[in-house]
Structure 1
Amino acid sequence: MQAYLVRRLFESALILLGITLVTFILLYLVPADPARQIAGRSATAETVQNIRDQLGLNDPFFVQYWRYLTALFQGDMGRSYLQRAEVSELIAARLPASLLLMVAAIVTELIFGLTIGIIAALRRNRPADHGLMIFSFVSISAPQFVIGILLLYIFAVKLGWFPIGGYGTFAHVVLPAITLGFLGAGWYSRMMRSSMIDVLGQDFVRTAQAKGLAKGRIILRHVIPNAVLPIIAMIGIDIGLFMSGIVVVESVYGWPGIGQLAWQAIQRVDIPVIMGVTMVSATAIVLGNLLADLVAPMIDPRIKTK
């Protein structure tokens, strides 16, 4: 396990390094000029040029990239071009809101996904099973911004049950968490259904039935605990999925997390902030996948690490 962990950490470091390079190349090729954004529309060409010199934007690509990389290794993500603050401080101020939303979304998708999957498995090939699987397919296919706008219109605008946007109370987190967890609920329901059906066909379940154990007890004590094992191992992967989808949800609901910070930075071509949020998101994705790979063998001994 130690050798496997060391190898995976090394691979993760290489992946993050590759992400910094690809992101830096894309931002370098963006036609928008950050110096022009800072100077304003009425600024002279000389003023824009001076700003570019101050920011080092006139240096060759590899000089800029090496400067960023060496600073990053020292824990310095740079300063925001427009907010005049350290990128690490901006992200640190927004990260708790994003983590709260992520945890709420994971809880939401597990509650809905596992419940739907269990019911569908117990009603296999019946109308309830078909209907729930159609629902899960819709949840997987529906774009998050469409779900978000639809929930806002129905439950915030029409019914007034929840606030339209903002942050601070339990009511504020409900709709964003449902929107973010809607996709995962579909995946989990299908996975739980398949896992439940597989476990229901195992010998130990038939043995329990032959002993005369009540069906409810067999389901709760034997089937569900075994069926949920592969589901638990997938939670770590969700961290990465949520970090990639949280930008849309936070923008729709005005949630003050790093997703909203990233969207604002993209609109203003604030390169240090874009790079910082990308690195934090990429680190979460890599660590989430690593966590899933490490937890899976502990939960299910049949899974081997190589």
Structure 2
Amino acid sequence: MLAYVARRLVQSVLILLGVSLITFALLYILPADPVRQIAGRSATPQTVENIRRQLGLDQPFLVQYWHYLTGLVQGDFGRSYLQRTEVIDLIVARLPASLLLMAGAIVCELVLGLTMGLVAALKRGTATDQALMVSSFVGVSAPQFVVGLLLLYVFAVRLSWFPIGGYGTIWHLVLPSLTLGILGAGWYSRMMRSSMVDVLRQDYIRTARAKGLKRLTIILRHALPNAILPVIAMIGIDIGIFMSGIVVVESVFGWPGIGQLAWQAIQRVDIPIIMGVTLVSACAIVLGNFVADLVTPFIDPRIKLQ
């Protein structure tokens, strides 16, 4: 176990290093000039060059990246060009809202997806099965901003059941969590159905039926723990999907998380914030996959970490 953890930690560091290098390189070759955003349109060429020199943006790429990397090792994510605030402070202030939204989305996708997949597997070949699978396909295919706007119009504007936007209560959390969760629910329902159908064909399920065990007991105690394993492995990957979709959802619902912070930084070409949010998102993805790999053997002892 310790050897596995050590190996994964080394791999995680290398992945994060690669993400930082690629992101920094893409921002370096970006046509937009962050110095112009800072100086303004009326700034003189001398003023622009002075700001560029102060920020170190006049130096070669490798020098800039090395300075950023050495600061990153010391916990320094840099300073926002426009807000004049430490990036780590901005991220820490916004991170709780994003984590709350992510937790709500995971709950929504698991409740919806596992329920739909389980019912579809038990009703395999019926109209219920087909209806649930069509619904899951629609959920997977629909763009998140369209789903978000549709939920806002129906449940916030027309029915007035939930707030139109904002942050602060459980009611503000429902619609954005559901918007993020519908996509995952579609994947999970299809995966859960396929896995459950396969498990229900196994010999030990037939043996349990032959012993006279109740159908509910067979499903909950024998079939479900094995059928749910692929879903658990997918939760870690889902964090990456959430981190990409959270930018859109937070913008639609006015949710004050790091997604909204990233969107504002992209519009203003605020490179330190973009880098900081990207690295935090990459850390969340790596950590999610790592935790999923560690939890799986506890659910199924047959799986060994190597």
Task: Please state which band the TM-score falls in when normalised by the shorter chain.
Answer: over 0.9
Q: How many angstroms does 1:209 deviate by?
A: 1.6
The residue number in structure 1 matching 2:258 is: 258
The residue number in structure 1 matching 2:181 is: 181
Deviations 1:47-94 (A, max 9, x none): 111111111111111111110000000000011011111000000000
**8 Å contact kept, 2:78–2:272:** yes
Q: Superposed, which structure 2 residues align to 1:214-233 within 5 Å?
A: 214-233=214-233
Q: Superposed, which structure 2 residues align to 1:104-115 within 5 Å?
A: 104-115=104-115
Instruction: Name the SS for the 2:135 alignment partner.
Output: helix
Which 10-residue stretch deviates more, 226-235 or 167-176? Answer: 226-235
**8 Å contact kept, 1:230–1:300:** no
Deviation >6 Å, runs of 4+: none
Q: Superposed, which structure 2 residues align to 1:70-219 within 5 Å?
A: 70-219=70-219
1:50 and 2:50 matched:
yes
The one-letter amino acid paired with 2:204 is: F
Whole-angstrom distance in 2 between the partners of 1:131 and 1:93: 43
**8 Å contact kept, 1:230–1:296:** no
Whole-angstrom distance in 2 between the partners of 1:8 and 1:271: 29
The one-letter amino acid paired with 1:9 is: L
Which 10-residue stretch deviates more, 61-70 or 237-246? Answer: 237-246
The one-letter amino acid paired with 1:52 is: R
The residue number in structure 2 matching 1:20 is: 20
**8 Å contact kept, 2:118–2:192:** yes
**8 Å contact kept, 1:240–1:289:** no
**8 Å contact kept, 2:225–2:299:** no
Q: How many angstroms does 1:241 deviate by?
A: 2.1
Instruction: Name the SS for the 2:85 alignment partner.
Output: coil
Whole-angstrom distance in 2 between the partners of 1:194 and 1:299: 19
TM-score, structure 1 as length reference: 0.96
Q: How many angstroms does 1:103 deviate by?
A: 0.3
TM-score, structure 2 as length reference: 0.96
Instruction: Name the SS for the 1:265 alignment partner.
Output: helix
Q: How many angstroms does 1:303 deviate by?
A: 2.9
Structure 1: state its 5+ residue gaps: none
Structure 2: state its 5+ residue gaps: none
- Tell me the number of residue pairs that the alignment of Structure 1 and Structure 2 aligns: 306
Whole-angstrom distance in 2 between the partners of 1:10 and 1:215: 46
Q: How many angstroms does 1:261 deviate by?
A: 0.2
Tell me how large the CA RMSD over aligned residues is. 1.3
The one-letter amino acid paired with 1:226 is: N
Q: How many angstroms does 1:302 deviate by?
A: 3.3
Whole-angstrom distance in 1 between the partners of 2:251 and 2:101: 13
Whole-angstrom distance in 2 between the partners of 1:149 and 1:250: 12
Whole-angstrom distance in 1 between the partners of 2:100 and 2:193: 28
Whole-angstrom distance in 1 between the partners of 2:211 and 2:287: 45
**8 Å contact kept, 1:233–1:299:** no
Deviations 1:154-204 (A, max 9, x none): 111222211111100111110100000111101111111112112211222
Whole-angstrom distance in 2 between the partners of 1:164 and 1:171: 10
**8 Å contact kept, 1:144–1:180:** yes
Whole-angstrom distance in 2 between the partners of 1:208 and 1:8: 39
Q: 1:299 to 1:217 in 2, by over 3 A?
A: closer
* % identical equivalent positions: 73
The residue number in structure 2 matching 1:245 is: 245
Q: How many angstroms does 1:30 deviate by?
A: 0.9
Which 10-residue stretch deviates more, 227-236 or 156-165? Answer: 227-236
Instruction: Name the SS for the 1:166 alignment partner.
Output: coil
The one-letter amino acid paired with 1:76 is: D
Instruction: Name the SS for the 1:186 alignment partner.
Output: helix
Instruction: Name the SS for the 1:125 alignment partner.
Output: coil
Whole-angstrom distance in 2 between the partners of 1:274 and 1:233: 29
1:29 and 2:50 matched:
no
Q: 1:221 to 1:298 in 2, by over 3 A?
A: closer
Q: How many angstroms does 1:27 deviate by?
A: 0.5
Whole-angstrom distance in 1 between the partners of 2:264 and 2:134: 36
Deviations 1:220-246 (A, max 9, x none): 332223322332233222222212221
Whole-angstrom distance in 2 between the partners of 1:193 and 1:66: 49
